[in-house]
Chains A and B, each alone.
Chain A
Amino acid sequence: MFNESIGKRSNPVKNIVERGAVKKFALSIGDPHPIFIDEETGRQSRYGTNIAPPTFPRVFDFGMIESLNLPNKGLIHGEQVYRYNRPLKVGEEITCYTEVKDYYEKKGKQGEMGFLAFKNYGKDANGEIVFTAEQLVILNETIRRMVMSK
């Protein structure tokens, strides 16, 4: 079922880089730097406003990919890559979607593991890509069988 998902995209979802969410997120990673949370620092910076930490897109809704139902437990996060054309600005609207890039299986110590690669996209109001994020999710044999049998 995962092979059939390769190339599928979610429907785009509009997300706001919300001031309160950025502050809460920055605090939760122990990085309450004024460039993220102090309005005056943001105003005086080259960005003219506050920016968000580079891993902030974890908060965004990237939409659902049709017929891809992953359990919310038992997945292992293997790798993560963010690529930015510029930092995210507080208050802006980012349109997000995700795509299944690849799926493959490899024999590991705990049986046949599944590797599912996603690529996420974030575009600004002008349709320009602000960031992309690649994510490798590992499914162990138990989880893989469970999902397959559905």
Chain B
Amino acid sequence: MTTLTELHIGDSLHSIELAPVTRLDLIKYAGASGDFNPIHTIDEEAKNAGLPGIIAHGMWTMGNLAKLFSNLYEIGFIEEYRIRFKGMVFLNDVITLQADLKEKNGNRYFFNVAATNQSGKEAISGEVIFKTY
């Protein structure tokens, strides 16, 4: 576990590469979140919506990205988590999660966060403000 106080501006939390996205991942997220929009699980519905295939829920990717901070629960919490949904995530995409420290101010740590696909294209990006106790 990275010690937050040892991080310098420009340093990153340990990044994570997810396993290729499967249909079952998205079915599980649909069930757990209650978001049953069929473009996330059913090919035909995705095609009817003009998509080449089913796409991940934006909130699935946003949920995944937050895990970079889960280990830090004893020293603080995510005070603000701001995301822009930029690109679609398709089946078999390999998503990398990243958080870079851009600023420290008192007990607040400002991170740039992003989830990018195997081509280096951002699916989501934004900011996390982590507040320590």
Q: A residues touching B (Cβ–Cβ < 8 Å)?
A: 21, 24-25, 27-31, 33, 35-36, 45-47, 51, 53-55, 58-59, 72-84, 86-87
Complex CA distance for A46 and B83, rounded to whole angstroms: 28
Residue of A nearest to B19 (CB): A30
**Contacting pair A46 B133 (CB below 8 A):** yes
Q: Across the interface, do B80 and A82 meet the contact criterion of CB distance under 8 Å?
A: yes
CB distance from B38 to the nearest CB of A (A): 7
Q: Is B39 an interface residue (CB 8 A)?
A: yes
B106 at the interface (CB under 8 A from A): no
CB distance from A145 to the nearest CB of B (A): 16
Chain A interface helix/strand/loop/mixed:
mixed
**When the two chains form the complex, which single residue of A27, A35, A78 contacts B32, counting CB atoms closer than 8 Å?**
A27
Question: Which residue in B31, B66, B70, B74 is a CB contact (below 8 Å) of A28?
Answer: B31
Candidates B45, B63, B77; contact of A55 at CB < 8 Å: B63
| A30-B18, A79-B85 known; A24 vs B80 contact (CB < 8 Å) | no
Report B82-108 CB contacts with A as 1/0, cut-off 8 Å.
111100000000000000000000000
* Complex: chain B residue closest to A23, CB-CB: B32
